[in-house]
Amino acid sequence: MNRERAANSLLAVLPRKGYQLLLPRLERVTLKFGDVLYHPREAIQHVYFPIDSMVSLLSLVEGHLALEVGLVGHEGMLGVPLALGVMDSPVRALVQGSGTALRMTSAHFLNEVRHNRPLQRAVSRYAYDLMVQVTQTAACNRFHQVEARLARWLLMTRDRVRSNQFRLTQEMLGSMLGVLRVAVTKAAGTLQKRKLISYSRGEISILDSRALETAACLCYQIVKVVPAVTRA
Amino acid sequence: MSSRVFAPASLTPKDNHLLAALPEATYQGLLHFLEPVPLPLGLAVVESGGAQGYVYFPTSSIVSLLYVLADGASAEIAVTGNEGVVGIALFMGGETTPSRAVVQSAGYGYRLRGDVLKKEFEAGTALQQLLLRYTQALITQMAQTAVCNRHHAVEQQLCRWLLLSLDRLSGSELVMTQELIANMLGVRREGVTEAAGKLQAEGLIHYSRGHITVLDRPKLEARVCECYAVVKREYDRLLPDPRSLAPRARARI
């Protein structure tokens, strides 16, 4: 379990004692691409601390594809509303990248977060980071071109799954960026032609991450994952 | 500053719903530290990137949270009025904020020093619970604004914006130029002029020299996209109900 502690950055910043208190409550689970962990306005059953999985937070609006407002990986957790005193999720949480996570029941988490001060602080701090991400995503969606947004999204994904290769359908990407699929296809085609990425059958590989950073809007610099230890 | 500034005698900290919902003992403990401050139009209460020393509890003003991009473009991501607090980075542990908080509708509020707030927050009192729930409501508003910006027409966004603003004021009039609205919505001014013109032609609002009066609220509510209802429902559910607050506050609502 100690290896896994380091594998989720939010748990990694807890003092050893704080973490050991949590340990018996944490259960290792596999999250599969396409799984829905939370539905809007439904009670949260578990909180999740992703290790190498990635989950997209989607806001739903009638008559449109769901729009991504946040992306959660090893740097964070799912179930922030619980820590803020709210028992249900405002968003849909959809697994974007298969992998493992540690989970805990809501009841246990509520109890822990009430008594474990370092956990409380880490979660508050993460809730704030998530808010910054929501804000930045909104701004980015509003003002930036699809290609720059796609580049940002690919880099954010890479940071969260810690791999230059991941699976993705163009339809999902459209939803992530709030644009039509054709626009995604076109933007992905341009990045591919410039040899920044390769895209084939739902598998994306980042070939040149430095160039991809240049292609991305500056929003990426704000939401990129900074290792938690250096921030403390 | 507090020695020179007096809020109108009719306003008290309890005109802010979060402060009004505090248990009396907690409220009395904070009262001494709550400074009345005028919040004039355009004042930047929180600057992006800067550290902040205070949180603000608006009583009769509305503060806009704006995101600011590296190229200077900005638009509103949420509004806060007498239902909330401005400057949540301070207690959530964010060192700086990429968004700016600017007064959108002039009025008054109370400010509280960061160290006082932090101490109270860390003590895990009722204030902490209220602030956290407000934070969750705010996150929902931000996410919904993101969706609305992306998918809905300027006219619907304008309706949403008017309704959210009115909910935070006592009357049915807003003092606002079209240029400012355009900045808030992150659209071109012509877009706002066209949308406002249409709403005016249909008798929903009256617009004249920077004053917007809502004439027919039910029609405006019928016109607005679902985003308004989603945000309102969350706020009603998560935050103290102003009607159930202290009589002092109720009398003014």
> What burial class does residue A139 get, using C-beta atoms within 10 Å of its C-beta: 0-12 exposed, 13-18 middle, 19+ buried?
buried
- What integer pLDDT is reported at residue A44 of this predicted model? 97
- Put simply, the answer to whether A143 touches B238 (Cβ < 8 Å) is no
Which run of H or of E encompasses B39?
strand B35-39
**Rounded to an integer, what distance in angstroms lies between the CA atom of residue A39 and that of residue A62?**
15
Domain count, chain B: 2
Report, as an integer, the average pLDDT of B15-25.
94
- Mean pLDDT, to the nearest integer, of B230-234? 92
Q: Is residue B35 part of a domain?
A: yes
**Chain A from 87 to 146: CB within 8 A of any B CB:** 90-91, 121, 124-125, 127-132, 134-143
Q: Do B213 and B246 belong together in one domain?
A: no
> H or E stretch including B102?
strand B99-105
Q: Determine, for residues A135 and B69 on separate chains, whether the beta-carbon distance falls below 8 Å.
A: no
Residue B115 sits in the same domain as residue B209: no
Query: Does any domain span residue B138?
Result: no
> Do residues B75 and B118 both lie within one domain?
yes
Question: Which residues on adjacent β-strands are paired with residue B57?
Answer: B110
CA Rg value for chain B? 18
Is B111 contained in some domain?
yes
DSSP category for residue A51: S
**B135 found inside a domain:** no
Contact A71, A57 (CB under 8 A): yes
HEC secondary structure over B116-153: HHHHHHHCCCHHHHHHHHHHHHHHHHHHHHHHHHHHCC
Residue-range domains of chain A with CATH: 2-140 (2.60.120.10), 144-228 (1.10.10.10)
Residues B202 and B117 in one domain: no
| Domain shared by B180 and B115, yes or no | no
Same domain, B87 and B182: no
Measured between beta carbons, which residues in chain A are less than 8 angstroms from residue B231? none
Residue B103 in domain: yes
Q: Which residue of B has its CA nearest to A217?
A: B70
Q: B167 and B109, same structural domain?
A: no
Least confident of A118-127, B1-10, B151-160: B1-10
Q: B9 pLDDT exceeds 70? A: no
pLDDT-based confidence at A67, cuts 50/70/90? confident
Kindly report, residue by residue over A3-60, the tens digit of the pLDDT: 566 689 999 989 988 888 888 999 999 999 889 999 998 999 999 999 999 999 998 8
- Regarding whether B108 and B157 lie in a shared domain, the answer is no
CATH at B118: 2.60.120.10
Identify the domain containing residue B245 by its residue range.
13-125+241-250
pTM: 0.86
- Asked if A84 and B136 come within 8 Å (Cβ–Cβ), the reply is yes
Question: Which of B71, B89, B143 is nearest residue A91 as measured by Cβ atoms?
Answer: B143
Above pLDDT 70, what percent of chain B? 90
Is residue B142, in this structure, part of any structural domain at all?
no
Cβ of A59 and B144 within 8 Å?
Answer: yes
Q: Which of B67, B92, B138 sits opposite A138 (nearest CB)?
A: B67
Contact A61 B226 (CB under 8 A): yes
Same domain (yes/no): B65, B26? yes
> A111 or B184: whose pLDDT is higher?
A111
Task: Provide the b/e sequence for B142-167 (b: ≥16 CB within 10 Å).
Answer: bbbbbbbbbbbebbbbbbbbbbbbbb
Q: Which residue of B lies nearest to A58 if distances are taken between CA atoms?
A: B143
Q: Give the model confidence (pLDDT) of A75-107 as tens digits.
A: 999 999 999 999 999 899 999 889 999 999 999
Chain A 164-223, CB below 8 Å of chain B: which residues? 178, 217-219, 221-222
Q: Which residues of B touch A125 (CB under 8 A)?
A: 92-94
Q: How far apart are CA B179 and CA B189, in angstroms?
A: 6
Q: What is the pLDDT of residue B251?
A: 43
A84 interfacial to chain B (CB closer than 8 Å): yes
Q: What is the mean pLDDT of residues A218-232?
A: 62
In a domain, B236, yes or no: no
**Can you tell me the distance from the alpha carbon of A110 to that of A85, in angstroms, rounded to the nearest whole number?**
9
